[in-house]
Every structure is written in structure tokens, then in C-alpha cells.
Amino acid sequence: MAGNTTGSVFRVTTFGESHGQALGCIIDGCPAGIPVSIDRIQQALDRRRPGASFDGKHNNVTTSRNEADRAEILSGVFEGKSEGTPIAIIIRNTAHHSSDYENLKTTFRPGHADFSYFKKYGMRDYRGGGRSSGRETAARVAAGAVALMILETQHICVTAYTERAAGISIKKMNYSEIEQNALRAPDCAAAEKMMNQIEILREKGDSAGGIVACTVTGIPAGLGEPVFDKLDAELAHAMLSIGAVKGIEFGSGFAAADSTGSINNDPIRLDPNTGLPLFTSNNAGGILGGISTGADLFFRIAIKPVPSIFQSQQTIQHKVTNHDSSEYAESELVIEGRHDVCLCPRIVPVVEAMAALVITDLLLRNECSRHF
Amino acid sequence: MAGNTTGSVFRVTTFGESHGQALGCIIDGCPAGIPVSIDRIQQALDRRRPGASFDGKHNNVTTSRNEADRAEILSGVFEGKSEGTPIAIIIRNTAHHSSDYENLKTTFRPGHADFSYFKKYGMRDYRGGGRSSGRETAARVAAGAVALMILETQHICVTAYTERAAGISIKKMNYSEIEQNALRAPDCAAAEKMMNQIEILREKGDSAGGIVACTVTGIPAGLGEPVFDKLDAELAHAMLSIGAVKGIEFGSGFAAADSTGSINNDPIRLDPNTGLPLFTSNNAGGILGGISTGADLFFRIAIKPVPSIFQSQQTIQHKVTNHDSSEYAESELVIEGRHDVCLCPRIVPVVEAMAALVITDLLLRNECSRHF
Amino acid sequence: MAGNTTGSVFRVTTFGESHGQALGCIIDGCPAGIPVSIDRIQQALDRRRPGASFDGKHNNVTTSRNEADRAEILSGVFEGKSEGTPIAIIIRNTAHHSSDYENLKTTFRPGHADFSYFKKYGMRDYRGGGRSSGRETAARVAAGAVALMILETQHICVTAYTERAAGISIKKMNYSEIEQNALRAPDCAAAEKMMNQIEILREKGDSAGGIVACTVTGIPAGLGEPVFDKLDAELAHAMLSIGAVKGIEFGSGFAAADSTGSINNDPIRLDPNTGLPLFTSNNAGGILGGISTGADLFFRIAIKPVPSIFQSQQTIQHKVTNHDSSEYAESELVIEGRHDVCLCPRIVPVVEAMAALVITDLLLRNECSRHF
Amino acid sequence: MAGNTTGSVFRVTTFGESHGQALGCIIDGCPAGIPVSIDRIQQALDRRRPGASFDGKHNNVTTSRNEADRAEILSGVFEGKSEGTPIAIIIRNTAHHSSDYENLKTTFRPGHADFSYFKKYGMRDYRGGGRSSGRETAARVAAGAVALMILETQHICVTAYTERAAGISIKKMNYSEIEQNALRAPDCAAAEKMMNQIEILREKGDSAGGIVACTVTGIPAGLGEPVFDKLDAELAHAMLSIGAVKGIEFGSGFAAADSTGSINNDPIRLDPNTGLPLFTSNNAGGILGGISTGADLFFRIAIKPVPSIFQSQQTIQHKVTNHDSSEYAESELVIEGRHDVCLCPRIVPVVEAMAALVITDLLLRNECSRHF
């Protein structure tokens, strides 16, 4: 109801504000007997960390706020395996300097959730965005790490990467290069150009957007629940729940709008080697009628440019903290501190986590819809 | 769980297969005392009907299957008002000739859900797509009509329209023209061009896709639930649950990926007349941090070309009806009967219905999250 | 949310008022491939019907309102089997004379939901209790019949019966006698005495209560979800959702409050024949820690006397139909028409239906919590 | 789904095993702006603690395990008020000696959940009952404390007490005596007799059960959701989810089964002072048709005797830890350590907490069902 839970069977509830005591999650519905490793959770968190996407030379893309982000499992794992009971994971906030945000106490940052939260709740946790901070995704990544351990047992593999940033697209698709550059692009040469462009924007006090793509291999046919909880509907819900995402498309996506049926329909043949059904193209992105076909899933998401920029912006302040009778005044805002210039590389592990949560949930939901 | 319910407070469950006895919905959570008119529901259904988007000259866009689609309210309305109890609405299927589909009994139509449903359930209702048929959306439109009556009391207005079809875009935005052409485009001249292009495709036995856009005005700030049930996440879920939709974008959407923060951030000023907050641009599409800002909502969805085409297609048949041990054979398929050539105009009322369901639900959810 | 849905995986939503067009249910989450027979549903409804519990001699226990109660399946069943899609069942109301209730338009019947509904919704469907009528349970019985067909495939058997009515208890337990007397008691001799006592009350214009017991055999160990959705918690929820039920107890129940651990604990031995675990007593009613042990489930529910009596009763009327500013006046009420004198026999099939819904749901939920 | 969440709008998810790192809860759906005091939460926890129900003389009723049970709020509260975001509370486990339970590693304690959990999950956290431990209720009490702070703002008061223990009932009802004796009975003289009887059982290595009653005053009419989520159904669900509870009855409860309509119906009059509706008796326990009438809520729950007794008991052990192919052997068990002899006084705050959670949730749900 209040929206901090995702999933139907594999249910994840997250909590925590950017500058509160801690953030974390409860995973309810993890089957018993799954090997759960705190190290794997920690590795996933480390990968999401600011400055984690480092190419050995320089990283001007993400902030270098020093967050230790140490995960602790509080429950649900016994002798290295899930017990079938809720798995609670917490991450303490260590580097929170609320005083940094005093100047934002009554000012709404453009492009941020400050104004909409204030209108919703009649109050606002102004410390670093509070609950609306991207920091909340750390809890998702921790939960996603558990989901990924489950998917691994089913040989399902989720891979996200930066396809485009600051107006520059990848030219090739080499999975092994993804972790070799600060952008998490599967093309180190293109990543170099993206970084140059990002550096230009950074110097201007501006920021960049981009596109993150995601592929899921090894997914069985039959995932997704008609009619409202289609696989693409669930993935769209999950991806649009990530802060800076402004759009999603599956398979040929928006290009399908200009295509024709004879081109866009994926023909079905039998694999000459295995005799199994095979789609000879994948404009559907692996989904027909909202249910997986067994072909690879493929979707792209649009990431807006980081709203925290260092140029002066037009905004308003509120004078009275009661949302029913607020008075406002116009003002100019110059944001301080350190901020990401382009979110793509840090969103990559979040996209993988959210995709893993959706697929794990639908795998478990599927257990109930088959022949009994 | 099984996915036929949408909404948290204003919950709609639909049922019905394309060629079963009836389809319909139960709306649970409609507040008591709302005037509910069967005529308004019927009008909404009439608008979704094949051939309903007619410009007085010709309509080569949608099928002319003669579906009476008479809605009947079975419960929940007493003396013209909602009782607070479930509102059940049914629509009998009258024109179902299952025999038309005998030739599809074992053949999977490319671009349709035939194969994925078969893999999911181990069986398949081959009569016109069964549950995966677009006909299911009639139940959504009936439920949406009730939601729209609620939104009307709040002065919230939902308008969808065809922005692009068969590769041709609108050139102007005139709301009053939407219902004056078969495409439901706010530009009759552009619609004429779209129809010409669609006619060319129809003659080739091919089909077209397009883009449907939707604007919601009068929406209060504060709708949407952090962190997973953001307004955009809920809308994306709803829209991607519509059969042929392959993508969605909010505000500047995918274009935001190439923009910069200084351009994409919407400045906030005070309206000189009212003194109220005003966004001077709307790249956000009316949503920040997943919560409505009070600005108009705006999103676009990509519609794939109709998969039922009249050209020969490569596909497979199954020999044994047990999904665990199916044997398949390659075959060629030529689809018969009458089918839509472009879905855009018929999807327009479905988009409005789904948007209305989401917004009504979030309005009611919001009642619980404010100051108590 | 609005409370007309029960179950998590096997979800049943009911609709319908006593004197509306129809009542019915949607079952969402029935696995595909289950044989579903309309005849079995009809038989279950016939058994719930007034006057259905007939012993060949006389039936002074239940009303003889002539309700045809013909069930129709609208969706979800194809070629005699469930499709995995929602199963909608409707029952038209045929014998509704709303005019009978004109005198109750502004008067609240004691012991009925008239006053509480009026306060909740600010309006009231005065025709026969509207949604609060016992007639609503017809939809539960229809849904329960489908659940019972599923349980049958698992060799799980649900049997409810009248254990006590009008102060008289059964003296023996003979399952084959249950359907041989109007009380549905497993002891025809005791039933005869109950009926005599009920006849005395009926002549006085008064009514009787009783106790209905329920046994479930063949249930596997492991059903029930810690910690909130324990098997007993789910059953209690289901049973207390039946109109006239005022209490429930499991196994030794309230008697356990006076027992001691050494007596109340059920010892565990191995069955000498099968070598399998065996509880040598069943004070737990088949449930430990909220999870089934494999022993038979056993619970009892308390049924209050029928509130519709023919003696004059003290009550109030409302003058203004706005619940915020209602004015009331004291009045005397004499109820007219035909009404049950004791609900026990008609509640028996409802208890079986609700128990079947809970167990089916937990069986399906269990599919997700085991070793993956 | 997995059952660790309760509530629809005011949703509480608990986590934690008896001997894990910590236990706690997330409250999602607490409205913004509620004053939340850590001290009040701590007081509630202190009251649930073993040995907390102390009369100054002696306490032979509950264990004296020294659990610090310090609550920490991790999120959702800012400047002393709820933010509208999830409130996470954790309580670290400090005094866990898992080694105490080595002898129970393969033995199922009679009357405990050991066997049923093992059958459900195929594994078992043998340390103090793991998730099935009564210790889990600490998290409920913490969450309930927040609910009680909300109810206080609405002048709703929840009071539970021991009505009967070890076969001895209270003879008077004096609320001020409840916290003056170790049994939490509103009659210190009766409590003295209960304690004497409990002492006799304790010396025999045996244990006692009892009855806990609960009254809620100040509750508005209109709470509860037809038809499945009736107020009594929701309370029954909540109460039966507490470990040792074996039954519940509302108002006249099981006694209603032997009553008649003319006696059991509560007459309605107008209060001569206020002119407002007044029920002149309360056999309904404040609930009609599953909806509160405005009269006081009243219900009783049956508590079984503590299963951990010090007499030798017949049970079985498992030899192989795989639940599909387990081999068992019969054995005798003598439980060691310190254990409660009668749970009533410690269940009293848990009953209050659960009642508060249900009522708070239904209050918030009600916000959505009224006239819009």
C-alpha cells in the first residue's frame, strides 16, 4: 500500500533514508535451503558504490563520497542457507553530514523529489533527499544479490550495461569489457568518448543522461502472469521505480511503432541441432502476450541527466512548513557538494538487481499456476 | 498473484476469454455514494468497439466484427449510486464462431501469445486467443468508465490520442479533432495521411504500429507511493499490461537520455496570477521522484504493428498436447478472417481507462498517507 | 483492501447483494488442467439452499424461500478443465421482492448489520440486508466447490457438521448420518431432539444457536505460513468472516486453558505399521506453531441464534439519511416474512467451502516455500 | 505470501529468529506527522520481558532469562515524527547460548513447532525454536507500540488482562489492579490464588493455561471490511497468529450457541443524555455484520499450557536431515533450562499490540471506503 514492498511471492521491503541510522531490506518468501553468502551481497554493494566503476585511469563520472556500506544479515540464514524465514539485511549510514543540507531546508531542488514529497507528506526530510535519495537503491542491490544467487541455481543470467551516455552510443557489444571502464559500457573505446564528453559537461557544472540496456539469458518460457502482471509490465514497474529512469522499451520498442507486422513478427523455426522452438529474430524482446517465450529478454531504459548541477537554477522556497497553507517565494539555487555527473554506471547494478527480483518472483509465482 | 487484479485500494479484477460465455470485471474498493451510470459505461464500450472510430467516410483501420458488447451491472449500485460493495459488470460474448479457429488449434501464430501461453499452462484456448485476446480490454474499459466518473468529481481529465501511426506524426494538437477521425488523432489532416498509408499496408496484407500519447490534467501534487509504487512505475505497469504496447516514456522520456541537467530540469516559479508553484517546462512529465508535482501528466506508449497479417508466415505446430513432451513441426501459416490493421485508435480508450484506474487508486491510497 | 477477496494464491472475490441482479465470484489462481464440473458446483449450491437440509419428515429449521440458485460458469473453463485463467461464476437473483423490505428502510434490525453498515457507508441497501445478507455465502459455496475438486485430487477430505443446537449436543459421531437429518448432525437421534427444541422456540417467535464442528483428513504436514498466516489464523479469519459465527476453537480449544502441559501436549510415536510419525492424541487439532502436523485438523465454531425473530424488539430509526448528521428516534420492531430458526445446517456447507478455500490456498502457497 | 506481514494499509513485517543476530519489524504505511517516541516502544518491550510482570513479592510465572531487548529505530522518524516512510525497528539478541539447544538438534519437542517446521522447510533452526519462538512477539510489541501511539490520538484505548489461569477465574474487574500482580489480572486476590496453583504445577514440572480477555473502548462505528475482512475476522486472524492461542470468542461467544435470539440480540436505544444510539447489552462484543457498532469491543482468547515442561515426554528423533527421506526413532525427552509456567501475563501486551495493529489498519482502510 505505502509502496515500499515489491514482489508477490519473493517480497522485498526496503527502508531507510539517506541520512538516517541505516537502510536495509527484508526479503520475505525466499525458499528454504538456498545458499546465501554475505560476501556476494557485499560484492554487489561494492559495485554500486560511488567511484566503484573505475577504469584505472580516472573516474569523473560518479561521486567519491566515502560510504563503507557494510551489509549485515540479521535473520533468515542459518548455517549458510536460507531458512524460509525473512532475511533481514541492514547497512548502517556512516558518512552522514546533515549539516551539509541546512541550506536546502526550505528550498526545493529542481529535478528532485523535494517539492512532490513536501506536497505529499506535509513535511520533508531535507537531508540528502531522505527516502527519495538514490542511496535507497543500496537496499535493492542487497536484496537483488540474494535473488541473483537463486537465479544462478537456475542458470539464468542477468546483464545490464551502458548503451549510450552523453549522446554517444556503443559501437560493439563485448560483454567482457563492461567492467573494464568507468561507464560499464561493453565497448571501452566508446566509453572513452563518453567520458570525454562527460568531462566537458562536468566542467560546465552540467550533467549527462544515457541509456542502460539489459539482457537476461537462460529464462524459461512461461514467466509472467496474464493479464495485468505481464512480464514486461512487471519489469516496467520495477525499472520505472528507479529514481532517474524516464522510459523503457522492450525488444524493438519504439522502433516497432514504425515497423510493420511482416517485419516485426518474429518467425518461429525449430533449432536444427536440438529440435526445439527457435525465434529467428527477437523484436519481441523475449516476451509475447506478457509471457516469456524462452528467447532472451531484452529491454532498454532511459536515464535522465543528474538533476544536481552546479549552475544557478530558478526555484522556490517555502516559508511556512504546513503544506495546506504554505507560502512560497522565488529564489535562485546553487547546489554544492559532490554529485554524480552521469548515473548510468551506478544504475547498471540496480537494474540487474531489480530485474533479478522480478524474475525470481515470477519464477516462484509460476510454481502455482501450472498443472497441479 | 495470478495477475488478473490491478490496483491496491481501487481494485479491479477482470475475467473472460475471447470466445467464452462472457467477460467482465469486479471493482472492489469503489467508495460509497459515487453516481454510477450504466450509460456512461456503455458509451465507453461503444467507443472501444471495432469500427467505432469512424470519420464518416471510411474506416479501413479496425475490424468490423459485430460485437454488441452490452454491459450489465450485477451488483454494487443501488438507486444510481455506488454502495461501497463490489461492482460487478458483465458483457456477454455473442458473436463467437469458435469454428473459425479450428485451423489454429495446433499452430502458434507469430507475434501472438499462442506459444507462450501453451508453454505456461500446458494447454491453450485457441479460440481467438482466449484470455490473451485484445477483447479482454473491454472489461478494463468498463471498469475505467467507473474510475473516470470518480475522477470527474475531482476535476481530473484524462485524454489519450494517436500521435503517430504507420510512420506519420501529427503536426498540430487540437483536442476537438480527436473524435473526428478514424485514427483518434488530434490532427485530421495528419490522420488522413495515416489512413492512406495504412490502406497501402492493408492491401499488401501487412499492418502498422504507432504511438499513443496521454495527458492528464487537474491532477493534484502528491500522488504516487515511494519507493516501488511510484506514479510512473504504476502507470508503466498499467500500460505495459496492454497487449501490443512495447514501450513507455514520461515527459522528455528517451530524449532526456541525450539532454543535460541544465536543460532537462524544470525550473520552478510562482504563477503571477495565483501565487502558486509553477513549473515553466515539463520535461518531467508531471512526476518527480515518482510523485506528481501538480503539473500535467504526460506519457507516450509504443504500439507494435498488428501481428495478424495476411502474408504467409513461418511458424511451428505442436503434435502432442502435453507441454512437457511436446513434439513440434515447422509449418507455414496464412491467417484468415478480419483483423485490425492498426491498433492505435482502439487502444486510445484502453489507455484512458488504465490511466484512470491507476490515478483513482493512487488518489484513494493517498487518503491513508497524509497527516492523520 | 475493501475486503471482498480472500486467499493469496487461490484468490476468491465475491460480489452481490441479496436483492441485486446477481451474485457470484471470480476465482483467480486456479491452476490449469483441473477438471471443473458445473454439476458439482450446482450440487454444492443446492445443499446450501433453504429447505435443503430435509429429513423426509419435516423441516422447521430453515426458511423455504424458493431460490433457484442456478450457477453459470462464465469463463476460465475450456473443454471441461480449468485454463489457468479466472473462473467467473454467477447466480442470478430471481425471487427478490424488495417491497417486502420497505418497512425496514429506516429501521435498524437488532442483531443485524443494518446499523453498522449505515455508519460505515452513510447509506444502506435495506433490501434483505444487501451485501450483509447470508445469501452472499452462495458465492463462497460455488468457489468452495471448485476448491473441493482440487482437494479431492490430493485426497484431502473436509467434513463439517452440527455438533450442538438449541442446547442439545450429539452423543455419537456417525458421518453417514450427517445428510440424513435436517440439522446435518452425525447423530439422527440427537438431531430429532434438537428439532423438537427448535420447534418450541419457533412457536415462541424465537430462534436458536449452535456449534458446528469441522474435520479435515488427509492434510499433509507443512501447511500454514509463519508467523502471521498460520493455518489456524487463516482458518479463524475465514470462519469469523461467516455472518453468524462468534467464536472458534482448535483441538482442545478453550478446554486447553484449564489443562496442563503434561496432559495437553500430544505425544509423538511411530506408527507400528508404517513407521511414520503419529500423534497419539490430538489436543493440537492438527496444528503446531501454526503449521499442520499431518494429524487431522479439527475445529469448532460458535453460531449465534438467528437475529430475525418474530417478537417485538427495541430499536431505533434514522430520520435523515446523511450519516454525519443523522437524527434518530426510538421505535419497536416486529420482523415479518420467513426466516431460518437455526443457521447450523445451512452454515455446514459454508464452513466446508471456507475451509476448502483456505487449505487450497495454503497448499499452493506451499509450492513456493520449499526447497527450490 | 510467506506470511510475515500483517495489515493492508498499516503493514507490519517482522523478522528474526530466537537466536539469530536480531529481530525487528518494518512498519510501512504509518501516516506522516505522528509523534513517535522510542521511550514508549522501549516501555512496551520492557513490559513483555520475562519477569516483567512482578508483584513485588515473587514471580514464579515467567522465566527470568535476562534479555536486554533494547529497541533501536533505524528509519522513518525525523525530528520526533513519522515521515510517512517505513519505520524500521531492531532489537539485538544478546543472551543467546545456542549450545543449550544441542540436545534438541534432532529431537522434536511435543507441543512445539519443531516437527511441523521440519516438515515444511526440510530443515530446522533448532536454537530455541528459531522463528517459531515466542521471542518473535517482541517485534510485534514494538510495532504495536507505534500503533498505540496513533490510537491514542483518536482516544481509542486497548486493554488486555488475564481473566483465568490454572483453572481460577477473576471475581471482579478492577483495571487499576492489572499491573499490580504478576498475572496481569484485574483482581489481585484472584491472581494470588492463580499463582498458588501455578506454583503447585511448577513443582510438579508441569505448566498452566488460561484465558486472556481484551476490551477496546472509544472505537468508532464503521470499522471492518465486508465481507471477508470483517473486524472480528481480522482480530481472530491476529490473535490466532500468536503462538499459544487455541481459540477466540467475541461478546457472548460460545455461550451464544446456547442462547436465543430474543436474549442474544442487543436492543438499541438512544442515550438519554447525548441522544446518540446506545446498545443496552453487548452480546455482540461491539461488532455486527463484521463492522464495529461503536460499542466497546470485547473478546476472549484461550491460551494453552506452556508446552515446555520438565516431565519426561514421548517423542521422536529424526536421523537423516532430508525431509523427503527422513528416518525416525522413538525417544524420551526431558527438557532443561528455564521456561515460563503460564504464558498469560506475557501474552497480555502481545494481545494489546496485535489488537492495536488491526484497529489502526482498519481505521486507515476506512479512510478509503467512505463518501469521497
| pLDDT over 60 at C207, yes or no | yes
B35 touches chain D (CB under 8 A): no
- From A115, A122, A309, residue closest to B293, measured CB to CB: A115
Return residues 129-148 of A near D (CB < 8 Å): 130-131
**Chain D residues with beta carbon closer than 8 angstroms to that of B84:** 369
Q: Which whole number is the average pLDDT over D67-81?
A: 91
The distance of C104 to chain B (nearest Cα, Å) reads 16
**Chain C residues with beta carbon closer than 8 angstroms to that of B122:** 32-33
CA B170 – CA B163 distance, rounded (Å): 6
B369 and A121 within 8 Å at the Cβ level: the answer is yes
Hey, is C26 helix, strand or coil?
strand
User: Cα–Cα–Cα angle for C202, C207, C210, nearest 5°?
Assistant: 125
Give the nearest chain C residue to A153 (CA atoms).
C372
- From C22, C28, C122, residue closest to B32, measured CB to CB: C122
**Chain A residues with beta carbon closer than 8 angstroms to that of D75:** 15-17, 20-23
- From A3, A13, A21, residue closest to D74, measured CB to CB: A21
Give the nearest chain D residue to A361 (CA atoms).
D1
Whole-number percent of chain B with pLDDT over 70:
91
Hey, is D217 helix, strand or coil?
strand
The whole-number pLDDT of residue C98 equals 60
Give the nearest chain B residue to A250 (CA atoms).
B246
| pLDDT over 60 at D269, yes or no | yes
Choice between D367 and A286, residue whose per-residue pLDDT is larger: A286
C371 and A226 within 8 Å at the Cβ level: the answer is no
| CA-based torsion, A319, A321, A322, A323: positive or negative | positive
B9 touches chain C (CB under 8 A): yes
The whole-number pLDDT of residue B95 equals 65
- From B9, B85, B371, residue closest to D368, measured CB to CB: B9
Residue C60 pLDDT level (bands cut at 50, 70, 90) = low
Q: Which of C258, C314, C317, C350 to mutate to test the interface with D (most CBs of D within 10 A)?
A: C258
**Chain A residues with beta carbon closer than 8 angstroms to that of D130:** 78, 83, 85
The distance of A257 to chain B (nearest Cα, Å) reads 4
Count the Cβ atoms, other than its own, within 10 Å of residue C86.
Answer: 33
The distance of C149 to chain A (nearest Cα, Å) reads 12
Query: Could you give phi then psi for residue B314, rounded to 5 degrees?
Result: -85, 130
D84 touches chain C (CB under 8 A): no
Return residues 172-211 of A near B (CB < 8 Å): 201, 204-211
- From C119, C305, C328, residue closest to D222, measured CB to CB: C119
Count of H-run helices and E-run strands, chain B: 7, 18
The whole-number pLDDT of residue B323 equals 54
C277 touches chain D (CB under 8 A): yes
Q: Find all residues with CB under 8 Å of A210, minimum gap 6, and list them.
A: A162, A163, A164, A165, A166, A194, A303, A342, A343, A344, B257
Most distant CA pair in chain C: distance in Å?
A: 71
Each residue's pLDDT expressed in tens, for chain B with a length of 372 residues: 799 999 999 999 999 999 999 999 999 999 999 999 999 999 999 998 776 554 445 566 766 555 578 999 999 999 999 999 999 999 999 866 666 677 788 899 999 999 999 999 988 888 888 999 999 999 999 999 999 999 999 999 999 999 999 999 999 999 999 999 999 999 999 999 999 999 999 999 999 999 999 999 999 999 999 999 999 999 999 999 999 999 999 999 999 999 999 999 999 999 999 999 999 999 999 999 999 999 999 999 999 999 999 999 999 998 865 555 678 999 999 998 888 999 999 999 999 999 999 999 999 999 877 655
**Chain A residues with beta carbon closer than 8 angstroms to that of D30:** 2
Residue A259, beta-bridge partner list? none
- B263, B264, B267, B271 alpha-carbon torsion, rounded to 10°: 110
Judge if the upstream peptide bond of residue D227 is cis by omega within 30 degrees of 0: yes
pLDDT per 10-residue tile (average), chain A, 372 residues: 94 96 97 95 90 55 67 96 97 75 87 95 88 95 98 97 98 97 97 97 97 98 97 98 98 98 98 94 98 98 97 90 72 90 97 98 87 52
Do the Cβ atoms of B348 and B184 come closer than 8 Å?
yes
The distance of A54 to chain D (nearest Cα, Å) reads 31
List the one residue out of C30, C25, C26 whose CA is nearest residue C10.
C30
Residue C66 pLDDT level (bands cut at 50, 70, 90) = low
B84 touches chain D (CB under 8 A): yes
* Cα end-to-end distance, chain D, whole Å: 31
Q: Find all residues with CB under 8 Å of A121, minimum gap 6, and list them.
A: A323, B222, B369, B370, B371, D32, D33, D83, D84
Q: Which of D148, D291, D367, D370 to mutate to test the interface with B (most CBs of B within 10 A)?
A: D367
B256 and A303 within 8 Å at the Cβ level: the answer is yes
Give, to the nearest 10 degrees, the angle between helix A38-48 and helix A137-153.
130
A303 touches chain B (CB under 8 A): yes
Residue given cell 473453463 in the structure block: C77
Residue D56 pLDDT level (bands cut at 50, 70, 90) = very low
Residue D55 pLDDT level (bands cut at 50, 70, 90) = very low
- Give residue-wise pLDDT tens across range D120-175: 998 888 888 899 999 999 999 999 999 999 999 999 999 999 999 999 999 999 99
The whole-number pLDDT of residue A64 equals 55
Q: Which of D83, D92, D127 to mutate to test the interface with A (most CBs of A within 10 A)?
A: D83
The distance of D79 to chain C (nearest Cα, Å) reads 31
A258 and B369 within 8 Å at the Cβ level: the answer is no
**Chain A residues with beta carbon closer than 8 angstroms to that of B368:** 1-2
